[in-house]
Amino acid sequence: MRKSFLLLSIAIFLLESPIYAGMPSITIGYMTSLRIEAISFFLFVFLVSTWIFKYLWNSVFVEMANLPKVTYMRALGMMILWGMLFNLILTMISGARELMTPGAWEPTGITYKLKNNDKKLSTEDRLAHMQQLSRTLVDYAKKNNNMFPLNNFDSDIPQELWKLPQSEVRYKYISGVYFDKSKQLILLYEPEFVGNKRYVMLSSGDIKLMSTRDIKASFQDEIDRYNER
């Protein structure tokens, strides 16, 4: 074995061709090298974490006779499986967030934030936009037996009106509410991120500025009245 290795080394040395200055050489780009460094660091941390996990698991085995010992390869397999499960859970959370607020989030580096979150919407813009939506919804109700749209995606209403100004976030909407000047039921309201004071459109078409606490209290009153029937 040693003789074969020695002969192979001598052959490589003898076959070595001379290198001249200025000869082209193959190198990787800067971004590629950064990616390779990041991947190699991740693999190093992952393998070290696997060894730590194996050590802790087998240390507990001393105290728990029914717990089997694990080898390094088994510990590595368990770490990979758990990593896949965590990735699945995080993907489901991201999907649920996107379904609840479609188009409202934008990537910023490795995280996400609400679009236009850095720009505070002025009170005047918020009120003017909801007034325009209120007029449109009241006109719709008068043409449809005092019934408001079933949801906040109804195509008869311009889609931009369903959204806050300069945002992809839609108003919170309560379906099944009828247009009635004598009632003050909440039809739609601004989402939480605008602040504690939020504009609310009522079933009468009026617009009020209410706190989050008052909005919740109004919903609870409606639930109590419904249960008393």
Q: Which residues, 6+ apart, have CB-to-CB distance to 222 below 8 Å?
A: 185
User: Are 194 and 149 in a shared domain?
Assistant: yes
pLDDT of residue 118: 47
Among 96, 126, 102, CA closest to 114: 102
Beta strands 172-173 and 186-189 are antiparallel
Residue 7 falls inside a structural domain = no
Q: Cβ of 200: how many Cβ atoms within 10 Å? A: 21
Helix pair angle (72-100, 30-61), 10° resolution? 120
Is residue 52 within 8 Å of residue 44, measured between CB atoms?
no
Q: 92: which 2 tokens?
A: 């489901």
Residue 53 falls inside a structural domain = yes
User: Are 216 and 127 in a shared domain?
Assistant: yes
User: Are 132 and 89 in a shared domain?
Assistant: no
User: Are 149 and 72 in a shared domain?
Assistant: no
Tell me the CA end-to-end span of the chain in Å, nearest whole number. 93
Among 190, 201, 139, 192, CA closest to 165: 190
Residue 17 falls inside a structural domain = no
Residue 18 falls inside a structural domain = no
Q: Cβ of 186: how many Cβ atoms within 10 Å? A: 20
Among 227, 104, 91, CA closest to 162: 104
Residue 49 falls inside a structural domain = yes
Backbone angles phi, psi at 209, to 5 degrees: -100, 115
User: Are 159 and 214 in a shared domain?
Assistant: yes
pLDDT of residue 16: 56
pLDDT of residue 140: 94
pLDDT of residue 101: 64
Domain containing residue 66:
37-100
Separation between Cα atoms, residue 69 and residue 65, nearest integer Å: 10
Q: How many domains does the chain have?
A: 2
Q: What is the pLDDT along the chain (229 residues), one digit of tens a residue?
A: 555 656 666 655 555 556 555 556 666 677 788 888 889 999 999 999 999 999 888 887 766 667 778 889 999 999 999 999 998 998 888 777 766 666 666 666 666 666 655 456 788 889 999 999 999 999 999 999 999 998 888 889 999 999 988 888 889 999 888 998 888 889 999 988 888 899 999 999 999 999 989 998 888 877 766 665 5
